[in-house]
Amino acid sequence: MARDRHDLAVPLDAARVVVAGLGVSGRAAAAALAPRAAAVVTLDDRAEDADLRHADDVDLAATDLVVVSPGWPPSHPLLVAAGERGVPVWSEVELAWRLRVDGPSGRPAPWLAVTGTNGKTTTVEMLETILRTAGLRAAAVGNVGTPVVEAALDPTLDVLAVELSSFQLHFTHTASPEAGAVLNVAPDHLDWHGGLDAYAADKGRVFEDAQVACVYNAADPRTEALVREADVVEGARAVGFTLGAPARGQLGVIEDVLVDRAFHAPADAPDRHTHAAELATLGDLAHLAGADGVVPAHVVANALAAAALARAHGVPAMAVRDGLRAFRTGSHRIEQVASVDGVAYVDDSKATNAHAASASLASFAPGTVVWVAGGLAKGASFDELVAARADRLRAVVLIGVDAEPFAGALARHAPDIPVVRVDPGDTGTVMPRAVDSARRLAQAGDTVLLAPAGASMDQFRSYAARGDAFADAARALRPDHG
């Protein structure tokens, strides 16, 4: 039988491996490979401890495998050349799948995998909390922080809640999750993928070879289409989640109750189609409500997706409820960091694309938001975002080295909204100047919201650093006693 182009031509212990990129996942991959491969060479043009600094120095004729970090696009000359020579290219996630060790059950810990344009981290952390509440030794891993390969080599874990980006999925070929979920698909990273269809297709890889369930967003036709296109293990089901009343095989909301009509009864139960299992109430999510006391729709959707994945693993309904009650969000996700003169300052720096920023703005009352926006556009347009959320805005403060895509959308769809552009020249003071401008525009009862809709790397080390700078600037404000 012919060798699959993604398989090694030699056993791993005889393989010569290049690890391209020494970020968190690259270093984890190199560490995992060191005792298992014949030779490991690291490549990074910025890491001083890398073996090679230039891709041109890689001898592909003497390379059996390239393990690539998420930031490297498939168009990179090294990866293109590797493909042409028949050298397999794996993500750290693919490496993790192939290196899995047996867990407490005597088999490798199953994966519950989550992807989507927005909501991945919240959903996977919700899922981890639910799994742990059910008494399972679980870990949230992947794009959320801990590299997947580290968790895959941990024999103490029962199950993994795996957050996967489209970058990671692109070079992942053989993973077979117990269940996978695509939360939503909206334009993002189009410069990396080359277009929306290619981006969506990479998201859809999370469904490939799913064993139990493919979880999709019933309000997002693209996610359902990805399920239909996926090759899954026989018997795996499509399970939708919806903010409305669920149809058969879905999870949803009836009045204020989150219910399960997918995993609530055995397939041969005579009353399966007339009953549902109650999972939780909106009151169980009250601690995640916005400033207006209402639980945002995207939070409910994330809870339903997490519940579906947990239920696919066999977690009882009560553990779902208790896990959602226990869950607390991390930093930089619609987090109020200060209140000055009756104005709330809210950090949602993790809203790094238009879809996330739209959900964030929708959490606030019309005409009450001074929006701090801007950053790397990643090839996206902001016309749809501004047109949909202009009613929420009192004013806008634009940051970033290239504010034009944002300014243009505002001029076209919200011409009456005041816009202040912060000079990007002094990066070190950009956020204090932005917060000061926002304060001047805000009125008592308003919210100054950092939901940038762009990536952070033009002026900040990460979205977290951007959010921290915003929080520091907001907390440094003094009440106006004049």
Q: What is the CATH number of the domain that holds 437?
A: 3.90.190.20
Tell which residue, 134, 109, 239, 142, has the closest CA to residue 181. Answer: 239
256 in the same domain as 321: yes
Whether residue 143 lies inside any domain: the answer is yes
Known binding residues are 116-122
350 in the same domain as 317: no
Tell which residue, 193, 203, 202, has the closest CA to residue 379. Answer: 193
Rounded to 10°, the helix 463-475/430-441 angle is: 50
Quote the strand ranges of 3-137, DSSP E: 16-20, 39-43, 65-68, 89-91, 111-115
246 in the same domain as 356: no
Whether residue 7 lies inside any domain: the answer is no
Helix (H, G, I), strand (E, B) or coil at 87: coil
Whether residue 313 lies inside any domain: the answer is yes
Whether residue 481 lies inside any domain: the answer is no
319 in the same domain as 195: yes
In terms of Cβ atoms closer than 10 Å to its own Cβ (0-12, 13-18, 19+), residue 22 is buried
The answer to whether 155 and 103 have CB atoms below 8 angstroms apart is yes
In this prediction, residue 1 carries a pLDDT of: 38
341 in the same domain as 322: no
In this prediction, residue 189 carries a pLDDT of: 60
Q: What is the CATH number of the domain that holds 47?
A: 3.40.50.720
In this prediction, residue 470 carries a pLDDT of: 95
290 in the same domain as 213: yes
The helix or strand, by DSSP H or E, that contains position 35, with its residue range, turns out to be none
In this prediction, residue 2 carries a pLDDT of: 45
408 in the same domain as 356: yes
431 in the same domain as 396: yes
For every one of its 482 residues, what pLDDT tens digit does the chain have, with 9 covering 90 and above? 345 778 999 999 999 999 999 988 999 999 999 999 999 999 998 889 999 999 999 999 999 999 999 888 898 999 999 999 999 999 999 999 999 999 999 999 999 999 998 889 999 999 999 999 999 999 999 976 789 999 999 999 999 999 999 889 999 999 999 999 999 988 666 565 567 888 899 999 999 999 999 999 999 999 999 999 999 999 999 999 999 999 999 999 999 999 999 998 766 566 666 678 999 999 999 999 876 788 999 999 999 999 999 999 999 999 999 999 999 887 777 888 899 999 999 999 988 888 889 888 988 889 999 999 999 887 778 999 999 999 999 999 999 988 899 999 999 999 999 999 999 887 789 999 999 999 999 999 999 999 999 988 888 888 888 999 999 999 999 887 54
Last residue of a domain, one of 23, 56, 87: 87
Whether residue 2 lies inside any domain: the answer is no
Task: Write out pLDDT tens, residues 288-305.
Answer: 987 678 899 999 999 999
247 in the same domain as 102: yes
Known binding residues for ATP are 116-122
Tell which residue, 397, 407, 402, has the closest CA to residue 372. Answer: 397
Burial code of 156-186, b = ≥16 C-beta within 10 A, e = fewer? ebbbbbbbbbbbbbbbbbebbbbbbbbbbbb
Looking up tokens 């393990």 gives: 67
The answer to whether 199 and 189 have CB atoms below 8 angstroms apart is yes
Last residue of a domain, one of 259, 293, 326: 326
Quote the number of domains for the chain: 3
80 in the same domain as 37: yes
Q: Which residues contact 97 (CB under 8 A, 6 or more apart)?
A: 111, 152, 172, 174, 175, 176
In this prediction, residue 353 carries a pLDDT of: 84
Q: What is the CATH number of the domain that holds 146?
A: 3.40.1190.10
| Residues 37, 100: Cα–Cα separation, whole Å | 15
Whether residue 345 lies inside any domain: the answer is yes
Last residue of a domain, one of 87, 110, 138: 87
In this prediction, residue 105 carries a pLDDT of: 95
321 in the same domain as 299: yes
C-alpha separations of 455 from 25, 356, 378, 428 in Å: 20, 12, 7, 17
Per-residue DSSP letters for 352-366?
-SHHHHHHHHTTS-T
Number of Cβ within a 10 Å radius of residue 3: 10
What residue numbers bound the domain in which 440 lies?
335-476
* Residue 108: DSSP 8-state: B
Task: Write out pLDDT tens, residues 403-413.
Answer: 899 999 999 99
Helix (H, G, I), strand (E, B) or coil at 411: helix
Whether residue 5 lies inside any domain: the answer is no
108 in the same domain as 245: yes
Whether residue 9 lies inside any domain: the answer is no
Q: Which residues contact 226 (CB under 8 A, 6 or more apart)?
A: 182, 185, 200, 201, 203, 204, 207, 216
The C-alpha torsion from 46 through 51 and 53 to 58, rounded to 10°, is -140
